[in-house]
Structure 1
Amino acid sequence: MAKRGLGMDVLTAARQRIARIFRDFPNVYVSFSGGKDSGVTFELAANEARRLGRRLGVLIVDLEAQYQATEDYLRLMLARHADVTDVHWVALPLNLRNAVSTFEPQWMCWDPGKEEAWVRPRPEEAIGDENYFDFFERGMEFEDFVPKFGDWYSQQNGGRMTACLVGIRTQESLNRYRTIASTRKTRHDDLPWTTMITARTYNAYPIYDWRVEDIWTYNGRDRIPYNTVYDRMHQAGLTLHQMRLCQPYGDDQKRGLWLYQLIEPMTWGKVAARVQGAEFGARTAREVGNVSGRIKVTKPDSITWEQFAQNLLDSMPPQTAEHFRIKIAVFIRWHQKNNGYTDGVIPDDGPFDKQTPSWKRIVKMMLSYDYWCKEFAMAPPKNKNSYEEYKKRMRIKTQEWGYRGTV
């Protein structure tokens, strides 16, 4: 889908989109993470709610491992707009991705019984009661919690149509651009910046066409409060496009682990102790330049790359090894069907390009700990249940394919 101008500046367009959402939806809430994009979205939405005499819901999903400056900013914004907001600050035990350890591929934020290890104390105003939401299950995935919250919020407000304002920008990634440009999704009134989530809930992305420079122009010109952790990121040498706020142990976010040592040294001690592999990952990012180890891969001369791959799999915990064996089988099967490797045997060595399969590429993927194999154009599952069903299907498929690494 080609981009086309709307004949107005992005601030005017965003205000019009938010006004449209308030006009079309009886219930509106904003997803607020404490980052720069969600902060601008919250500010614009609160101003519109105040102008209309409406209430604005606020969802904060607190993932525990975050900067103290972020918590301070959350409170600042909630106080700034307390007159028009109904807040749900959620701090419940959710399962999150840990991309810095093969032995602990997931970790649970706000894990009951591990209070002494928590990165931060649970905020007093946060929802920590696991029975507060009728849909909540301990250890559920973040991606599963969010749409269920939307349905719950709708039910709490008369079961009427509900919109969640989300501060994502297409400039940040191809996936976010696809979220807007996709013609296969169900939209509200055919508006491309909306996506149907459930029968009663939609996501709306009012600042999707903003550049990062637009975010800071708005904050500076209108003197809007922002998270001061960005000032510290700037002092650490990051560019505007590199500044991101996410849970620190994720597949992409792990590259910024080392920043905790510079920005909030006291927080860093807790971050390093909280999740297995965090300290090692931060040190690797600082010393090598890439926590994923993607600069160079080597092996002993006495073994092949395939043997090296099998040795790596044998050294992993069974559940992690099963995960990677399934992904490797899918990778080999795809090239068998599409690139002429009819016997299912791929080269042992080869270049690191997208067209040529090799066991060397597989080793690189595992040493990078690319858990969801994004290097092979694979994607994470939507939620825990869909992943378990996927594994069951793939156990059968790998046996049908005759893959020798079948689990």
Structure 2
Amino acid sequence: MARRGLGMDVLTAARQRVARLFTDFPCMYVSFSGGKDSGVLLELAANEARRRGRRLGVLIVDLEAQYQLTEDYIRLMLKRHEDVLDVYWVALPINLRNAVSSFEPQWTCWEPGKEDAWVRPRPAEAIGEADYFDFYEYGMEFEDFVPKFGDWYSRQHGGKMTACLVGIRTQESLNRYRTIASRRKQRHDNLPWTTMISARVFNAYPIYDWRVEDIWTYNGREHVPYNAVYDRMHQAGLTLHQMRLCQPYGDDQKRGLWLYQLIEPHTWGMVAARVQGAEFGARTAREIGNVSGRIKVTKPDSITWEQFAQNLLASMPPETAEHFRVKIAVFIRWHQKNNGYTDGVIPDEGPMDKKTPSWKRIVKMLLSYDYWCKEFAMAPPKNKNSYEAYRKRMEIRKQEWGFRGTV
């Protein structure tokens, strides 16, 4: 879908979209992370709610390992708009990716029994009771919790149509652009910046066309508070486009682990101790070679890339190694069916593009610890139960395809 202008500035367009949502949906809430984008969206939505005499829900999924400055900013915004907000500050045990350790590929935030190791004390006003939500299951995935909250929120308001406002911008990534541009998704009233999540809940992205420069222009001109952690990131040398807030141990997010040491040294000590591999991950975040598999990979001359891959798999914990073996089998099988590698043998080395399979590409994926194999255009499962079913199904298919032994 080609981009085309709307004949107005992005602030006017965003305000019109937010107003349209308040007209069309009797229930509204904002997904607020404490970042720059969701902060601007919360400001716009709260102002419209106040103008209409409406209430506005706010969902904050607190993932424990975050800057103290972020918590301070969240409190500031909740206080600023307390006259119109119904707050759901969630601090429950949720499973998250740990991309800095093959021995602990997932970690659980706010894990009971590990209170002494928590990065921060649980906020006093946060929801920490497991029975608060009827849909919650201990250790459920973040991606599973969020849409179920939307249905729960709608039910709390008599099953009314509900809009969840999400502060994503298409400038940030191709996947976010696809979220908006997709013609296959169901929309509200054919509005491209909405996505149907369930029969009663739609996601809406009113600032999808903002650039990062627009975010900071709005904050400056409107004198809106923002998270002071961005000032620290600027002082650390990051550009506007590099400044991101998210849980620190994820596949992409681990590259920003080193920032904790500069921005909040007192928080860094707890972040480093919270999960296996965090300190090592921070040290190697900027490496481009065989430590982290970024950009360039090399191998000893005495072995092939396939042998190198097998050695890497042998060095991993059995469960993690088996996870990657399944992914590798799917990768090879796809090229068998679609690119003519009928005997199942792929080149040992080749171009590092997405069209050509090779064991060198597999090594790069393993070294970068790309757990869900996004490099191979694979996606993480929707939840823990679907992943377990997937693993059992793929173990049978591996044998049917002839993949035995080490792969």
What TM-score range do you get, normalising by the shorter chain? over 0.9
Measured after TM superposition, the shift of residue 285 of structure 1 is: 1.8
| 2:322 corresponding residue in structure 1 | 322
Identity %: 86
Instruction: State the distance in 2 between where 1:303 and 1:169 align.
Output: 45
Contact 1:282–1:291, Cα closer than 8 Å, also in 2: no
- The Cα shift of 1:165 comes to 0.5
Q: Where does 1:183-332 land on structure 2 (aligned, <5 Å)?
A: 183-286=183-286, 292-332=292-332
1:64 aligns with 2:75: no
TM-aligned CA deviation for residue 47 of structure 1: 0.1
Contact 1:64 1:91 in 2 (8 A): yes
In the TM superposition, what whole-angstrom CA distance separates every residue of 1:85-104 from its partner, at most 9, and x where no partner exists?
00000000000011111010
Which string of whole-angstrom CA distances, capped at 9 and with x for unpartnered residues, describes residues 342-361 of structure 1?
A: 10001122232222221121
1:221 positional shift: 0.4
Q: Structure 1 residues 291 and 108 mapped into 2: Cα distance closer, same or farther (>3 Å)? A: farther
CA contact (8 A) 2:98 2:105 kept: yes
Q: Name the CA distance, whole Å, in 2 between partners of 1:367 and 1:38.
A: 33
Report matched runs for 1:2-401 at 5 Å.
2-286=2-286, 292-401=292-401
Q: Distance in 1 between matches of 2:2 and 2:187?
A: 18
Question: Displacement of 1:157 after TM fit?
Answer: 1.1
Matching residue's letter, 1:91: A
Deviation at 1:305, TM superposition (A): 1.8
Secondary structure of the equivalent of 2:276?
A: coil
| Corresponding letter in the other structure for 1:327 | K
Q: How far apart in 2 are the matches of 1:269 and 1:376?
A: 35
3-state secondary structure, aligned to 2:197: strand
Aligned pair count? 407
CA distance in 2, matches of 1:291, 1:183: 41
Instruction: Check 1:329–1:286 CA distance in 2 against 1; reply closer, same or farther (3 A cut).
Output: closer
Distance 2:11 2:187 in 1: 22
Q: Quick one: which amino acid aligns to residue 181 of structure 2?
A: A
- TM-score under structure 2 length normalisation: 0.97
AA partner of residue 296 (structure 2):
K
Whether the 8 Å contact between 2:21 and 2:163 is mirrored in structure 1 is: yes
Counterpart residue identity of residue 258, structure 2 = W
Which amino acid in 1 is paired with 2:77?
A: M
State the distance in 1 between where 2:150 and 2:290 align: 37
Partners of 1:395 and 1:406 within 8 A in 2? no
Look up the equivalent residue of 1:198 and give its one-letter code: S
How far did 1:406 drift? Answer: 6.9
Q: 1:405 to 1:37 in 2, by over 3 A?
A: farther
| CA positional deviation for 1:183 | 0.9
Deviation at 1:286, TM superposition (A): 4.7
In structure 1, C-alpha distance between the alignment counterparts of 2:278 and 2:177, rounded to whole Å = 31
Matched residue type, 2:317: P
Distance 1:405 1:209, change over 3 A: farther
The one-letter code matched in structure 1 to 2:32 is F
- For the aligned residue pairs, the C-alpha RMSD in angstroms reads 1.4
